[in-house]
Structure 1
Amino acid sequence: MATAALRSQVQAKWNEGFARLNRNDPGITGLMTYTEAWNMATEFLRPRHVSTPNPIQGAFAYPVVRLPIMLEVFLDSIADNFHLIVSDIEQYLAQYQESGNTQVILQLVFRLVEWFRKWAPIDELGPTIRSAYTLTFQTRLFSVLPPQFLPGFKALCAASLEEPQSTPAKMWESFEVLGMSDRYEGIVAGVGYERIERYIREEYAGKWDVQVLAALRTWMSKHIVAWMLPLYARGATNAEDAKGMLANVGARFDFHLNKTLCELRTSEIFDIIIDYPESEGALKDLKECMQRVDQRAALIQALRRANKKRLLHPGADTKLILSQYVATIKCLRIIDPLGVLLYKVADPIRRYLRERPDTIRSIVANLVGEDDGGDSLVDENDTPVPLAPPDADGFNDPNWEPEPVDAGPEFRANKPSDVISTLVSIYDSKDLFVREVQVLLAQRLLAITDEDNTPKVDKERRTIEILKIRFGEAAMQVCEVMLKDMADSRRIDNSVQDKNRTVVHPTIISRHFWPALDSSDITMPGQFQALQQAYAKEFSTFKPDKRLRWLPHLGKISLTLELQDRTIQADVPPLEAAFIELFSQKNIWTMDELIAGVGPVDRTAALKALITWIDLGVLKEDQENVFRLLELKEEPGPAPARSIAMAVEEPTLTAAEQQHMEQMRVYWKFVDGMLKNLGPMSLDRIQGMLKLAPNYDQSLEQLGVFMDAARVRGMVTVKDGIWTIVSE
């Protein structure tokens, strides 16, 4: 039960409140006036339909002192009547879903602004009520907007970017009034980002000849920045104010422009390298982009994946791999002069090239000018420089700089070297290249068959002089001896020919200075042996302290075969010449008799030599291992299918045909794999790739016969010289 003191306190508070509301007027006159003003104010602030007019403002002539309570009532009434706005939203979105017209979304935005202004309290109530109303309205609005609104809002922004002249100026103002500029700033920026991405990919994909970054920035200033002005530079009074307001967002858009162009060029990097130097513009753009965007790791991974898929596989020719490696070196030096990118990209290529058996020969062939099958690896403008080990620790470099932060623990920032020095560095020692140079030079010198060989020898001499700069005088000393032997051989041969003219023109070499040559114990029969003995006798008179040791398996012999009904001329290896010489004694020989007549010869090599004469129509294998000289030409009968041996072996095949068929059985697997994995190819390309196969020694003509037999069997098709595998 309340005490007297408590009742006294309650009475005092009541009297105080009544006096404040009654304003010391007589009776309850003041209280009645306040009540009337309260009712009129709340009725004026009550949310109404947007089409219903508001009551007159005269109700506020009497000051309202209970604003917090009035604000609470006002905000509650907004919540109670927000269903009116929801109904409008649903109608507009249903219309947009049906038509897809972004103007419907724009009309919805304008409608929402009408609702906002319709319910907004008058300014006389002060900023507090105004701010509370704005926050409440926007919060309610974003809570009731369905998911379908966001795609429509994004489409509206995109349409305004594509056709800015058709966009009403009040659209951005409406976004600001409703709070959408801040709420959906990411969506608006995303529209600009997507437009930049689409423009770059549509306009500059595959265009690498010129730099495009400056033109892209000009385009962005004209289109994207102008579109952003009403949103991000609102309130600016002059150009300087607008520039300052756009500085932050402009930097973000410029970053995205660089990132998009960098990603595009990264996806194209393998083809850009193939197209170098025509693609130098794209490389310079990529360098500038990567100074702003951290895409180095992505570039490394993209190029390594492309190399693995398109380059580092058995179907790629070694010369092609070397050419792409050289182009990679030049391109990545443009992007990253310090060499970190090159180090990380080149490592798998270098390891793969080390595993290829013909890598050294391909590099050396390019060095000595033997490889004419495409562009040279060496730039003619490059000055040859000596090969020297790099100063790994940089003790002798006055301009030494620390390694880049993304360099691996094994990276060494060596000075850029010429291309050949980089290729030679694939291997740990240059001695491998020196030995290969010696072998290749020996083969080239021994292949010179002209009687006057001076120009060709001089060409090799000039090549060796260039190689001396790279490898040093000492390394090329053996090559000097080989060149001297060629000059001496020509002089000796001239002296022998002056005394006793003969058709024999041997190349006389120093056994201790030339690379080891394959030996053979075959003996040239008949007239060949007599010619050799006569030449050796004349040589002994010229050089009595030396003697000749013939290598009859090397060289070429020009023959003229006079048969009863025809004459055949052929340039053949000595073994083929030795076999056909035996047929001058009698017309029919067995395989064993032929081998016995020339000395120990591998049966495979003997069959290959006899196939040469069979193909020329000089010999015929009547039965297995029995060969007959065809003095009179015979009309060829149906040729046994000796090229493709995937079908049933014919019992009527001769030994030579069986031998040929067995060889081609293995090579068909290579051809089948190439055509399936790499697509249609020309005969020359197939021949070039088959040379990588172990022990492949077929000529282009023999490969043509082989492929034609496969075509007859329905295994391949050919059109315009391009061979295609038949799908199973």
Structure 2
Amino acid sequence: MEFSSDEDIGSENNDFNFNAEHLFNYYVSTLLCTPPGMTKEEGESILLGSNTELISGRIAKYLHSLVDESPILILQRFNIMLDAMEYSVGYVKNLLPETRNTEKVLWKVFRASLKAFPCYKVLSSLVEKVLILSFQCRNKWKEEKLPIVGQMYENIYKMTIDFVRDFSNQNQLKMDSFISKVVTNSADDFLRMSNSHKKLNLLKINILGQLSRKFGPIFGWITELGLSNEVEVRDFYQLRGEYFLLTNVSDTIFDAIIAYPETGNDIKIMGKIMEKFGVEGRDMISKCIIESINRELLHVGVCTDVILKVYASCVESLKILDNTCVMMHRICKIIKDYIKKRPDTVRSIVNYLINDSSSDWHTKTQQNSGLIVDEEDMAQVNDEFLPSVEENTIRYWKQWKPDPPDAPPGDSRFYRQSSDLFNMLVSIYGSKELFVKEYRQLLSERLIEEEFADIVSEKRYLELMKRRFTDGELQNCEVMLKDIKDSRLTDIKLDEKNIVKFSTQVRVISKHFWPKIEYLTFKLPDIFKDATNKYKKSFEEFRASRTLTYYSSSGTVLLNVELNGVYIDMSVSIIQACILLSFTKTECSTVADVVDTLKLPRNIVKKGLEYWTSLGYLTPVEMNDDEGYALVKTQINSEKVRKMLCNQDQESDEEEANIDDGTIIDSLEQYWNYTRNLIANSNDGIKPERLLQLYKMFNSPSKRGPSLDHVVTLLQRKVKQNILSVENGVYFIVKESST
């Protein structure tokens, strides 16, 4: 076999047509650093490593020409290089038979040449291409359904495996550490290629199972490579696979939080994985959740009740994700700061806590008798050395970890980790006093307005509340429940005496313990007046030294209305019943007549008359230059009336909201002089957001206050009146033009 000199290869610029024999000769001449006719002195010089850099430079010169070649061609030429190395070792061994360990020393020289600077970088790049070819062929071989095509991929794959094993041969090159390094350096690329069609999704069951199925081909391939440090490589890939999980489920982690508790196990697994990557992992997940919250949750298109449900899910799930609760407080604060600006937040929170049966905070409250402490009250408390119950155990001390670096300095660890859903929801108010006030208001509405209020459930809920508050804070609520219970007993005893013509249920309340009740005083019809007087007299006999004061406009009446032979049962307000009863004495009346009879405001009377007109019992007539109404002469369509009553019940909430919107906007007119002066004195104009904060200061926390839409509507009204002008959302006073 003839050797090719370095000059011959150089003259062809390392870009000759592939010829295995030609390339083999080139490799041999490069490795031996001499054309045929090597002397013993030259052989000994090679064994001493004198030509290592020269060999490395010459090999690198040729390898650079392969950078743009296909992986399969690179693989073929690598195999020729290995054959040339094996031939060269045998050649020198035969040349120097008396020298000991010739093979071992020369393989060491070749290994050093490949790892030297000129060769190492390009060799790494080419080997990476071969490894990628290996992994891709393995996957296509496993997936290919056509036997012929599958056989082709299998053959190529086996060629790559043979190359890796020859390259890593412990009796020759021993380049297994080099192969391992290339495999680990390209870990992220291989992970992306592995089952790229399979997406990781926290909303699907068993995230670890998804991870195993996605990266199963990778670990099978690593095993088949036969690396000496396979365990270390697998551990590294396991870690990078978990990092891949963190970076690739970011678009579904917020959905998983919303779907809690169904996703609780996967969230717990994510927390353990996140902990392995320290601050980087925490910041990655936190940033993703915050971006999703700002994009999908915190905008006007999402109602307050939905935001509260997500807030509750964040509290529960983030405690599992991060048991230090640092992330929970940071993320929940963003939601809390936004939702505090909504006027219906206070009421929505109380309703959520009372009506939410899906949450387990009721059970946790039974287990936790700790009182609620405002965050401001804990600010001055040093609890750094205050151990909790679990901290007193030996197990805790063995597993103790400091707070994460992203924990706010001076943050109360005890307060942070003891917070649960109830505490976090109450903290939105800013103080527990405001929560108790709103709870008391809603409790009074339910007890008065509901015909059969569930006293047992309300009492059970109150007992849970007492575990979080002092007895004095909830004393009024206890009295309210006792009043309703006593009222029912009184109703039963007085009903047994049969002193009233019809069944009566009266809510006897202790005035000083209940929230202020708004009511109208008007003249009751005789049938109601007689009933209330008899009830009052019997009550005074039954409860000595106590009397009753009626809230005339509060309550409902169950009527059986008969008109033209048609009977219909319906539940209406007392005022509506009184208006209809006024037509029992005369078939037609003017609005003024009804106002004079009942001593009610005209707008309320008009609204009541329109109600009965909509049901078909009254019809408008003209009388004495005033609006008049008369009982209809035709037969009532009972099915139509019942359907209308049902629809009115379903639409009552929407109608009430619409009425409230108009009322709220009109109520802001009382602050117009103040608003006008404020805008006039501001050179830069005023934004609606600033006015909203000012208006909220004037509003009662227990009532629905103005929203940003209400303020904008008021300002736009003034723009139409040419009192204000608006530029880019900023409002200015329109200056009068000088004449």
After TM superposition, the score normalised by the length of structure 2 is 0.63
Spell out the pairing of 1:293-312 with structure 2 (5 A cutoff): 293-294=277-278, 295-312=281-298
Deviations 1:606-650 (A, max 9, x none): 4543343233221234579543321314789xxxxxxxxxxxxxx
Cα pair 2:558 2:572 within 8 Å, conserved: yes
**1:474-623 equivalent positions in 2, closer than 5 A:** 474-494=472-492, 496-497=494-495, 498=497, 500-503=499-502, 504-540=504-540, 542=542, 545-601=545-601, 603=603, 605-621=604-620
Query: Which residue identity lines up with residue 473 of structure 1 in the other structure?
Result: D
Report the counterpart of residue 366 of structure 2 in structure 1. Answer: 383
Displacement of 1:282: 1.4
Q: More deviation in 202-211 or 265-274?
A: 202-211
- In the other structure, the counterpart of 2:431 is 429
Show the counterpart of 2:158: 167
Q: What is the Cα deviation at residue 297 of structure 1?
A: 0.8
1:440 lines up with 2:442 in the alignment: yes
Instruction: State which of 81, 86, 106 in structure 1 corresponds to 2:75.
Output: 106
CA positional deviation for 1:520: 1.1
Q: Which amino acid aligns with 1:159?
A: Q
1:158 corresponds to which of 109, 112, 135? 135
- Counterpart of 2:257? 273
Say whether residues 1:196 and 2:191 are aligned partners. Answer: yes
Amino acid at match of 2:287: Q
| 2: CA distance, partners of 1:137 / 1:433 | 72
Q: CA deviation at 1:586?
A: 2.9
1:701 aligns with none
Determine which structure has more spread, i.e. the larger CA radius of gyration: 1
How far, CA to CA, are the matches of 1:538 and 1:78 in structure 2?
A: 114
Matches within 5 A, 1:88-103: 93=69, 103=72
Question: What's the offset of the Cα at 1:573?
Answer: 0.8
Which residue of the partner structure matches residue 287 of structure 1? 271
Residues 111 and 173 in structure 2, CA contact (< 8 A), matched pair in contact too: no
Deviation at 1:408, TM superposition (A): 1.4
Q: How far is 1:554 from its partner?
A: 1.0
State the match for 2:222 in structure 1: 225
Answer with 340-349 or 545-554: which moved more: 545-554
Cα displacement string for residues 319-373 of structure 1 (whole angstroms, at most 9, x for unaligned residues): 4333333332222222322211212112112223433444443443355x4x26x
Look up the match of 2:697.
none
In structure 2, relative to structure 1, the CA distance for the partners of 1:628 and 1:660 (3 Å cut) is farther
1:518 CA drift (Å)? 0.7
SS at match of 1:558: strand
Q: Contact 2:617–2:632 at 8 Å: present in 1 too?
A: yes
Residue 77 of structure 1 deviates from its aligned partner by 13
User: 1:51 — aligned with what?
Assistant: 21
Q: 2:629 aligns with which of 627, 630, 635?
A: 627
Q: Name the structure 2 match of 1:707.
A: none
Three-state SS of the structure 2 residue aligned to 1:571 is strand
Tell me how far apart the structure 2 counterparts of residues 489 and 412 of structure 1 sit (CA, whole Å): 47
Per-residue CA distance 1:231-276 (angstroms, 9 max, x = gap): xx3xxxxxxxxxxx34654443232122112334444222222333
Change (3 A) 1:84 1:630: same
Gaps of 5+ in 2: 10-18, 97-101, 143-153, 393-399, 639-653, 663-702, 708-739
On the 8 A contact 1:208/1:278 being kept in 2, the answer is no
Shift of 1:429: 2.5
> For residue 467 of structure 2, what is the aligned residue in structure 1?
469
Paired residues of 1:583 and 1:589 also in contact (CA < 8 A): yes
Q: Which amino acid aligns with 2:475?
A: Q
Q: How far, CA to CA, are the matches of 1:331 and 1:219 in structure 2?
A: 29
State the alpha-carbon separation in 2 of the partners of residues 404 and 83 from structure 1.
51
Q: Tell me which moved more, 534-543 or 50-59.
A: 50-59
Question: Following TM superposition, by how much is the alpha carbon of 1:109 offset from its aligned partner in structure 2, in angstroms?
Answer: 4.0
- TM-score under structure 1 normalisation? 0.64
* Distance in 2 of aligned mates of 1:84 and 1:404: 52
The counterpart of 1:351, out of the listed 313, 328, 337, is: 337
1:262 aligns with 246
Corresponding residue pairs, total:
578
DSSP 3-state at the match of 2:481: helix
Residue 205 (structure 1) aligned to one of 201, 207, 217:
201
| Matched letter for residue 106 of structure 1 | L
Residue 460 of structure 1: aligned partner: 458
Please give the alpha-carbon distance, in whole angstroms, between the structure 2 residues aligned to 1:426 and 1:181: 60
User: For the structure 1 residues 320 and 72, does the alpha-carbon distance in structure 2 shift closer, same or farther, using more than 3 Å as the test?
Assistant: closer
Q: Distance in 2 between matches of 1:434 and 1:661?
A: 25
Deviations 1:49-107 (A, max 9, x none): 75369799984579679989xx99999999999999999x69x94xx5xxxxx645533
Provide the residue aligned with 1:333 in structure 2: 319
CA contact (8 A) 1:45 1:74 kept: no
- Structure 1, unaligned runs of 5 or more: 1-40, 97-101, 234-244, 637-658, 668-690, 696-728
Q: What root-mean-square deviation, in Å, do the aligned CA atoms of Structure 1 and Structure 2 show?
A: 5.2
Contact 1:210–1:280 (Cα < 8 Å) also in 2? no
Q: Is the 8 A contact 1:522 1:601 kept in 2?
A: no
Aligned residues of 2:365 and 2:464 also touching (Cα < 8 A)? no
- Secondary structure at the aligned position of 1:320 is classed as helix
More off after superposition, 56-65 vs 393-402: 56-65
1: CA distance between counterparts of 2:324 and 2:6? 71
Distance 1:665 1:485 in 2: 30
Task: Identify the residue that residue 36 of structure 1 maps to in structure 2.
Answer: none
Name the CA shift for 1:568/1:338 in 2 (closer, same or farther; >3 Å): same
- 1:644-692 per-position Cα deviation (integer Å, ceiling 9, x unaligned): xxxxxxxxxxxxxxx989959989xxxxxxxxxxxxxxxxxxxxxxx99
Deviations 1:528-549 (A, max 9, x none): 3343344444445556754432
Deviation per CA, 1:260-305, whole angstroms, max 9, x where unpaired?
Answer: 1233444422222233333233123212212321300111111122
The 3 A distance-change label for structure 1 pair 72 and 45 is: farther
Structure with greater contact order relative to length (CA < 8 Å, sep ≥ 6): 2
Q: Which residue of 2 aligns with 1:238?
A: none
Q: Distance in 2 between matches of 1:114 and 1:600?
A: 110
SS in 1 for 2:445: helix
C-alpha displacement of 1:517: 0.4
The Cα shift of 1:407 comes to: 0.7
The equivalent residue for 2:382 is: 393
My pick for the range that moved more, 482-491 or 562-571, is 482-491
Question: Aligned letter for 2:208?
Answer: V
Displacement of 1:212 after TM fit?
1.9
1: distance between equivalents of 2:561 and 2:312? 50
Match of 1:557, SS state, is strand
**8 A Cα contact 1:447 1:555, kept in partner:** yes
SS in 1 for 2:468: helix
Residue 590 of structure 2 contacts residue 627 of structure 2 at CA under 8 Å; is this kept in 1? yes
Query: Which whole-Å deviations, capped at 9, do the CAs of 1:175-234 have from their partners, x for residues lacking one?
Result: 67999989997764465433434459827524654462898499488415314534xx3x
SS at match of 1:551: coil
Q: In 2, distance between residues paired with 1:346 and 1:584?
A: 60
Structure 1 counterpart of 2:265, one-letter code: G
Amino acid at match of 1:307: I
Question: Which residue among 328, 341, 347 is the counterpart of 1:342?
Answer: 328
For 1:484 and 1:428, the matched residues in 2 are separated by 30
Against the structure 1 CA distance between its residues 200 and 487, is the aligned structure 2 distance closer, same or farther, given a 3 Å change threshold? same
